[in-house]
DNA sequence: ATCGGATGTCAAGGTAGCTTGACATCGCCC
DNA sequence: GGGCGATGTCAAGCTACCTTGACATCCGAT
């Protein structure tokens, strides 16, 4: 599951910490999601998409192999 | 976080068990998601949306209060 | 030369998503 | 009036998500 969080965050000139606090999560969570260390929950995925003004499917791109 | 899983599943004439096996999850998981007992993971939300041929935001509707 | 902001990463702990297995109820069909 | 498919629900257990707290590194500015 790829995502465009880092690209959109840096395009907005935000630090990981700034994005994290805007979303109400920890900085480590943003870092882990950007690096693909784990996937966000559904509400967090919605919160990220809402923050960047895009849809969930525009921010997260499931690979064929992680869909059942 | 409301969702339209039950409506779409019954519209397709599927049982919870049939949908579950089509998605590669357990029947209890489908039941719990339909009843709002817990939220699906992001890949499962994508799998559900893909199965019904809609986008994630067309299937799941976050309430304002569950967005941070 | 060093201070601060930004990032990467680890450990330990809590909670939520998901599992299997089991049991109960309901409605329908034979 | 018994059987069966569909649904609801529980318990116990595993893993993933997310937390706080800490420490290391890397630049860029002073």
Low-confidence ranges of chain A (pLDDT < 70): 66-68
| Contact: B40, A42; criterion CB under 8 Å | yes
| Average pLDDT of span B14-25 | 96
Q: What percent of chain B has pLDDT over 70?
A: 96
> Which residues between 6 and 65 in chain A have a beta carbon less than 8 angstroms from any beta carbon of chain B?
23-25, 39-47, 49-50, 55-57, 60, 62
| Contact: A41, B41; criterion CB under 8 Å | yes
| Average pLDDT of span B27-42 | 96
The whole-angstrom separation of Cα B17 and Cα B34 is 13
Q: What is the pLDDT of residue B68?
A: 55
Q: What is the pLDDT of residue A63?
A: 84
CATH number of B2-66: 1.10.260.40
The whole-angstrom separation of Cα B8 and Cα B53 is 10
Domain boundaries, given as residue ranges, for chain B: 2-66
């Amino acid at each position: 599951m790829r995502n465009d969080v880092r690209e959109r965050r840096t395009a907005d000139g935000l630090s990981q910490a700034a994005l994290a606090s805007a979303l109400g999560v920890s900085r480590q969570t943003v870092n882990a999601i950007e690096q693909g260390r784990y996937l966000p929950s559904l509400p967090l995925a919605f919160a990220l998409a809402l923050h960047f003004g895009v849809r969930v499917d525009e921010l997260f791109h499931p690979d064929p192999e992680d869909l059942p």
